[in-house]
Chains A and B, each alone.
Chain A
């Protein structure tokens, strides 16, 4: 289960990164050029092969309408980018986390989060990502990103987040 811990840690780091300005360029200047090839440090948000880049530049999440698990045109664009990144970086695996907003009962929201995560996984598989590189999990309404009880927050919580993992999913 070591890999899961690692995945969760990476997920937490990514989630933190995603909460800040996704198009930021600052903050990495200190390390820039210090040892990385070209203009970025390996593993930094500017390294196209890094999970940080995936999270911030490709976009690690898609949002859903109330009680829905169908993928919007905007979501498909993000997922096309995710599929391309995963194709270009075949050493990485991914866990897709499905979430619901707080307006629903606990069990139903768990199942709804699974529907959303599975919709993302099926899309990525259809785009050519081998199924054995992907897993999904639902958190229902247990892990909201935004905590206000308004649609502005709910909309951001109805999400599926693709969390990049570095080791084998099957341990």
Chain B
């Protein structure tokens, strides 16, 4: 009986250890390496409107900050109706006792001002409640009124960084394929949105089929595959003016599966000639192309390592789809996937240490991650049809497409932590597939 009690106490201590210890010694910090079981409780009272024109933004901005933080699954917002202290002035001293009483470990205070020209300025501070100290320094961001959501994402990015020690990802955009209509008459358009599904803009109309857009490293351009000519061809689109052109990648029945190199100067892609599909690279400035694989099998879905030295791709040269890594200039490829089933759509993590992929096994699809040598394979999801992972700029979260089963099936975007926790749907106005997560802005 005593032994069992001791075990119970130990289990509880373990569960709360990271938060408790960190609150008592050193700066408030949440360790997210393997995901957190107990989210860190925080409070974000409505930001103070310093001008009348700022009133429309103040509450909205603090709500977006809270949505960003809570949406990670790492933090838990203490509801505003539980707050004891009222923050009516950004400069007023923080009533730490009131925030301790409701167990808010972190507190975010802020103010918003807006002038007649439409310029919005947001200031914020992050507080370690139990240490009774400010965490980092107060900062401010400014934009025109239309950019108020970005201001909120920037504040949340700062808070996330200070509390996790990780680089953030909220102020980022995703390019994807917006889908409408039934399975046998589906219309597809390229679209771009904030990472959280807000501010959707369409980049193409639905007059021709488009597939698998991929952001350039700086987010200024998008590569995609279009049937505008009647045949699949890679096109490149400039996000700013939505101008697009076909990439002259060489003779072939079709070109597809494009992706930029980390420096944005090269494109790797697949080219089909006859029954054979191989991987090529093209220098965008000179237009020179180079064949990187030459096997009679299907080689596709190439993705550069972030240092630009290697390329991971899929091939069915062994008889089924598997993942391989080769030098960026081509050459001998090493197979890295050896588990049961088929592996496709590999994407190198921005941190360089992992590769995300789609796995198909026993009638189910999974999104997974593995080390770049294929070790430590971990499946994060399982469904009728999950595919096409893309990494958040900080390499902590993966977004992907999930298509539901049956005649009424439709596609939606989901995100999941690389720990496998916090699987959730990304809200989009219509069906959505093929996400590509852009850089932190």
Q: Which chain A residues have a beta carbon within 8 Å of chain B's beta carbons?
A: 1, 4, 7-8, 67, 69, 102-108, 110-112, 114-115, 118-119, 122, 135-139, 142-149
Contacts and interface: CB of A to CB of B under 8 A. Distances in A.
A1 B229 contact: yes
B409 interface: yes
B429 interface: no
A106 B177 CA distance: 13
For the complex of A and B, list the 9 residue pairs with the smallest distance between their C-beta atoms, beginning with the closest. Answer: A4-B230, A105-B344, A118-B275, A111-B277, A147-B183, A111-B298, A149-B405, A107-B300, A147-B407
A115 B257 CA distance: 16
Contacts of A67: 320
Given A106-B212, A107-B344, A108-B300, A145 B254 contact: no
A52 B88 CA distance: 77
Contacts of B275: 69, 114-115, 118-119, 122
B211 A142 contact: yes
B229 A145 contact: no
A119 B274 CA distance: 9
A3 to B, nearest CB: 9
A118 B273 CA distance: 9
A108 B298 contact: yes
A105 B257 contact: no
B151 interface: no
Interface stretch (B123-131, B137-145, B380-388): B380-388
Nearest to A149: B405
Interface of B: 182-184, 186, 209, 211-212, 229-232, 253-254, 256-257, 270, 272, 274-275, 277, 298, 300-301, 314, 316, 320-321, 344-345, 358, 360, 384-385, 387-388, 403, 405-407, 409, 434
A102 B385 CA distance: 9
Given A137-B254, A142-B211, A8 B230 contact: yes
Given A138-B254, A148-B406, A103 B360 contact: yes
Contacts, number: 105
Interface hub of B272, B405, B406 (most chain A Cβ within 10 A): B272
A77 B407 CA distance: 32
Given A1-B230, A147-B183, A106 B434 contact: yes
Contact of A147 (B184, B256, B298, B360): B184
Given A107-B256, A148-B406, A137 B184 contact: no
Given A118-B274, A142-B211, A149-B406, A108 B253 contact: no
B229 A4 contact: yes
Contacts of A105: 301, 314, 321, 344-345, 358, 360, 387-388
B136 to A, nearest CB: 43
Nearest to B252: A114
A137 B254 CA distance: 7
B190 to A, nearest CB: 15
B360 A107 contact: no
A86 to B, nearest CB: 20
A139 B301 CA distance: 16
B272 A149 contact: no
Contacts of A145: 184
Contacts of A7: 230
A107 B231 contact: no
Given A110-B256, A138-B272, A144 B387 contact: no
A1 B257 CA distance: 24
Centre residue among A67, A108, A138 by max chain B CB count within 10 A: A108
Nearest to B212: A106
Contacts of B229: 1, 4
Give the most central of A106, A115, A146: most B CB within 10 Å.
A106
Contacts of B387: 105-106
A106 B384 CA distance: 15
Contact of B232 (A69, A138, A147): A138
Nearest to A138: B254
Nearest to B182: A147
B345 A110 contact: no
B208 to A, nearest CB: 10
A7 B254 CA distance: 18
Contacts of A138: 232, 253-254, 272
